[in-house]
Copies of this chain bind each other. A is one copy, B any other.
Amino acid sequence: MHRVRVRVVEDALDANNTIAQANRADFDREHVTVVNLMSAPGAGKTTLLEKVLGGDGLPGVRAGVLEGDVQGSLDADRLAHLHIPVTQLNTDAGFGGECHLDANMVRSALPALPLADLDLLIVENVGNLVCPAEFRIGEDARIMVSSVAEGEDKPLKYPLMFRACELVIVNKLDLLPHVDFDLDRFNHHLDAVHPGVARMFVSARTGEGVEEVRDWLAALPARTGAPA
């Protein structure tokens, strides 16, 4: 007799992970590297994308963006001038507006994504430092953006988010002279919750440090072992 033992799904996150793996398989089949971009509201994710993907864009990388928002398409509209594929995903059909993207929401957007024409898909999550960190969506890497205007204590207050990502981008460096934010103390707090995590200090507004982000993203497919 053929016997197979299947373990019962344990919780909601297991269901999410199952769907995330299905997304992952679809992305792999199309050779697409996926980045989950997270931050608090107003940390500058969209401005950063404008700068990183604008101009000549990422050399040799066909990039696209999936914009997650509670409602509206303001960010997608801002990226329209880049002439890259931008898809809007709204969460307001859920309970009062979901505060994060999960694997199933991203899966619902897959038919609208031109995966065959992309090397890199950047998913801009809903602005929130808590729940987005809890839901994998099938991504290769997670980046979080933290603005110096938010204060140097954020790694200690939202440790799961800072722990969940492969790269921390500290944005709005141009505001440093005008806010109470000590870079050394921030680094100390960040290392306390995620020792040695990669970090970059940028100003999406002035363009300072954006080149380094561009290089990191351009090299990501090779690093994550996505089939070329």
Contact = CB atoms under 8 A, between A and B. Distances in A.
Interface of A: 40-42, 69-72, 74, 95-99, 126-131, 133-134, 147, 149-151, 153-154, 156-160, 172, 174-175, 178-180, 205
B149 A42 contact: yes
Contacts of A40: 40-42, 127
10 smallest A-B Cβ distances: which pairs? A42-B150, A149-B149, A99-B130, A40-B41, A96-B134, A42-B151, A41-B129, A99-B131, A40-B40, A178-B178
Number of copies of this kind of chain in the complex: 2
A27 to B, nearest CB: 24
A215 B68 CA distance: 39
A159 to B, nearest CB: 7
Q: Most chain-B Cβ atoms within 10 A of its Cβ — which of A69, A71, A72, A150?
A: A150
